[in-house]
Structure 1
Amino acid sequence: LEQFGADAVRYWAVNGRPGTDTAVDEGQMKVGRRLAIKILNVSKFVLGLAGDDAWAGQVTEPLDKSVLANLADVVQVATESFENFDYARAIERTEGFFWPFCDNYVELVKGRAYGAGSEQAVASARRTLVEALSTLQRLFAPHLAFVSEEVWSWWQEGSIHRAAWPSADQIRQLAADADPAVFEAASEVLGEIRRAKTEAKRSLRTEVESAIVRDTDSRLTLVSAASADLKEAGRIADLQFEQADEAGVVVTLAAED
């Protein structure tokens, strides 16, 4: 407990399957500690992005609806897992959504949440961020009780452990007409942009002169739904789409000064 903290030990314990022997695993406790720290950091960042009036916004943008549609599925699985006493599956699915949310969605909409885009698009990003954050904090609360209580206290009244459990149906209502695949498709392209910069040993803040996304028509439709966010997050001056049987992204970085 002194070395890793209570939440890290709880993380190790909850990942054990009922009826099986579970050895003490400091490696897993380190993962739990890293997760707790990430919850602290992303909560602080999102709350700084969203502002005080975020709950008043409507979710209108395809990428925002897509991430909420995926989150609704996570809530449903986590709820069913708790009802079946399968706590390991509940945190597994929650954590499986949490990391892409932090690494991809938050990065994709960061510029829009700061104000890049129409008033409607900005409000949509901010509402989605607080909706997802509130849901994730409550999903983590049974597992990482202390960090969840701390971040909840930053912006909500009362204890998170007395708050209502998130509703998959309510989240799906916000994500009406969503295509859940938009988030994954946009994340993959963003990953290729990052990889090109890393392989060139350039900063992730490097400007991209052009990026050509090659894929099937159906996949290009998904990516194009998030094109404005991709351009902002990837610092892409010219984003193009080409139909192709083999997927790929051709990236041309801006010349070094």
Structure 2
Amino acid sequence: MATYAIGDLQGCYAEFEALLKRLDFSPSRDQLWLAGDLVNRGPDSLGCLRRSVALDGAASMVLGNHDLHLLAVARGHGKLKRKDTLSDILEAPDRHEMLEWLRRQPLLVDDAERGCVMTHAGLPPQWSLAQANELAAEAEAVLRSDDVDAFLNVMYGNRPARFEPDLAGMDRIRAIVNVFTRMRFIAADGTLDFAAKEGLDSAPEGYAPWFTYPRADGLTLLFGHWAALEGQTPGARVDAQALDTGCVWGGSLTALDLDSGERISVPSRSADR
């Protein structure tokens, strides 16, 4: 049995299938961890989502910002953007079943035995694992409840930029979700910057990559979201494993073997499209 963590699919279904074939992946034997952003920008978001649903039981995933955008658009709380590739899902006869499955996925998964934690964007140094699990569960409960529309209606936004324990209502849920799904550069007090999305040299003054702040718990932190890192975390002061190697942008789709530490990649087929 092997367990593989795979970076952002973003609609790159052909590459996903090629990677599973290269891994000789068997859902009856092996496990997948999917780092979120299954959909959007790539050519086959529907294929990626359907395949992930079919792997349920053999795959654990975390929600990413593009997954949440899909949910918001599907429920009438957001609009398709020019570069979105979500129409095939929205027009699919099985959209309801897939979207209900998606909104019940977690924001955080962990493996205590391995000491591994996966979220889409990372784990801020201000949060212990216990606190992160509690906050993830709080936001997940809203997404899975009748309050989901109330949240998705106000999900888009950069305020508050820092999570505070006394935050309440949908501001609190938005702050939690933004940390788990949109974080890149942060200040020492945990304030998030939402503008800089490129490499490490694009850090705003007073901000640094979240993984350059130390932690004392020795966790291995698996994350996607930041394609510009190209799978590297220079200057990391924690064991942070960047999984998004930019398949949708012409890079590659990468799996990390959680037992051996080996990385296995297949090239993007964007040049063939």
Same fold by TM (over 0.5)? no
Q: Greater helix share, 1 or 2?
A: 1
TM-score, reference length from structure 1? 0.28
Q: Greater strand share, 1 or 2?
A: 2
The structure that has the greater radius of gyration is 1
